[in-house]
Amino acid sequence: MSGSGFRGVSADQDSRFTNKEKKLMKAMKFPPEFSTKVDLTKVNWDTMKPWIAKRITELLGGLEDDVLIAYVIEQLEGKKTVDPRQLQISLTGFLEKNTSLFCKELWQLLISANETGTGIPQRFLDEKAAEMQRAKEEAEMLQARIREANERRQQEERERLERERAAAEERAREEEERARRHRESYERALEEQRKKDDSRRRSRSRSRSRSRERRRRRSGSRERRHRRRSRSRSRDRREKKQRRRNGSRERRRRRSRSEERGAERRGSESKEEGQGEQREQQRGQSPAAAPSEERDKSPARRASGERKRSPSDAREAGAGGSRKRRSASPSRSSGGASGSEDEKAQVEAAARRKALASLGK
């Protein structure tokens, strides 16, 4: 103390200013992995960052804390080495009881990343391999399912084709059987038709021979009937001619009778007129007065006589007048009778020709 102006201890020697972190480190128990040093520059942080974020979120109960995740990555990335004990102490306020678990798992992964030489922890490689294996297995299972489905579909398609082929063969057999039956029935029908045609031809030939015989008989009977008809027609024509002649004779007789009766009536009337004139002359009347009286009386008398006459009397009177005229001139009446007879003969000949023409038609 004699050589210096101050007396006492330094800050390191003073217990009041001791490092509390060192004391905490000495007081805490750390896992043995923390004693292994890790070169953080060899770590592939692209694979570590997703794990850090996922694990912190899991330890926080599903709460994603971006600040804490960024803080942890900042403490590790870009540094050569880090003391895991200090990292655990700095994260205790955030993760609390889960801090030691997180730091232990993190340091184990970093040690494994240094040992693999790829910077990727073996756990990640194993997980990736397992994942790839699972994916491969799943792909194989999927392929197997696809193959099974394809095989099943192909089998079903083959079975369907087989059924269709069998059905087609069955239909073909049925069609063939139907065609055979149809052909047999057609042949039977043709055979029956041939037999019917043969029997029809035989019956037709028999009927033709019979019809020829009948035609011969009919032709003979027809000729006989024709001859009979022609005979009967000629007989009828002769009878008609005879009837016409008889009728004309009867008409001539009637006409001559009516003419005779008219002549007799006119003769009796003339006789009565002559007798009346004689009586008038005997009474002393002049012959000129009598005709005048007769003329005065004649219209009424003539009208009454005409009213009393019938049409037949008038015809008879006309016939009587014509007969009187013929008697007055016998030569001329004989000539007129001959002319009327010629005209009648001509009329009868024309009627005969017409009757013959109608019969011929």
pLDDT in tens, 119-178: 888 888 888 888 888 888 888 888 888 888 898 889 999 999 999 999 999 999 999 999
Helices first, then strands: H and E counts in the chain: 9, 0
CATH number of the domain enclosing 114: 1.20.1390.10
CB atoms within 10 A of CB 176: 10
Total domain count, the chain: 2
95/39 same-domain check: yes
Residue 5 lies in a domain: no
Asked whether residue 131 falls in the same domain as residue 83, the answer is no
One domain, residues 104 and 131: no
Averaged pLDDT for residues 235-255: 82
pTM: 0.39
pLDDT given at position 324? 44
> Within a domain: residue 161?
yes
- 181 shares a domain with 102: no
- Residue 241: inside a domain: no
Question: Residue 319's closest CA among 272, 270, 252, 247?
Answer: 252
97 and 143 inside one domain: no
178 vs 232, which has greater pLDDT?
A: 178
Question: Under DSSP, is residue 21 helix (H, G, I), strand (E, B) or coil?
Answer: helix
Single out the residue of 108, 100, 101, 92 nearest to residue 43, CA to CA. Answer: 108
- Which residue's structure tokens are 């001539």? 252
Residues 22, 111 within the same domain: yes
Q: How confident is the model at residue 284 (pLDDT cuts 50, 70, 90)?
A: low
Query: In which band, very low, low, confident or very high, does the pLDDT at 223 lie, cut at 50, 70 and 90?
Result: confident
The pLDDT of residue 331: 43
Same domain, 55 and 139: no
pLDDT at res. 13:
54
Indicate whether 289 belongs to any domain. Answer: no
| Structural domain span for residue 70 | 18-120
Whole-number percent of the chain with pLDDT over 90: 11
The mean per-residue pLDDT over the stretch 108-127 comes to 86
Question: Are residues 167 and 104 both part of a single domain?
Answer: no
Read off the tokens for 13.
């020697």
Boundary-marking domain end, from 185, 206, 229: 185
Are residues 83 and 24 part of one domain? yes
Q: Which of 185, 210, 227 is the last residue of a domain?
A: 185
For the segment 197-216, the average pLDDT, to the nearest whole number, is: 80
| Candidate from 91-95, 116-120, 172-176, 316-320 with smallest mean pLDDT | 316-320
Mean per-residue pLDDT, 185-203: 88
Q: Is the pLDDT of residue 350 over 90?
A: no
- The mean pLDDT of the chain is 76
Q: What is the mean pLDDT of residues 350-356?
A: 82
Length of the chain: 361
Of 86, 120, 154, the last residue of a domain is 120
Instruction: Assess whether pLDDT exceeds 70 at residue 317.
Output: no
Query: Which one has a higher pLDDT value, 312 or 257?
Result: 257
Are 115 and 130 in the same domain?
no
Q: Please indicate, yes or no, if residue 215 is contained in any of the structural domains.
A: no
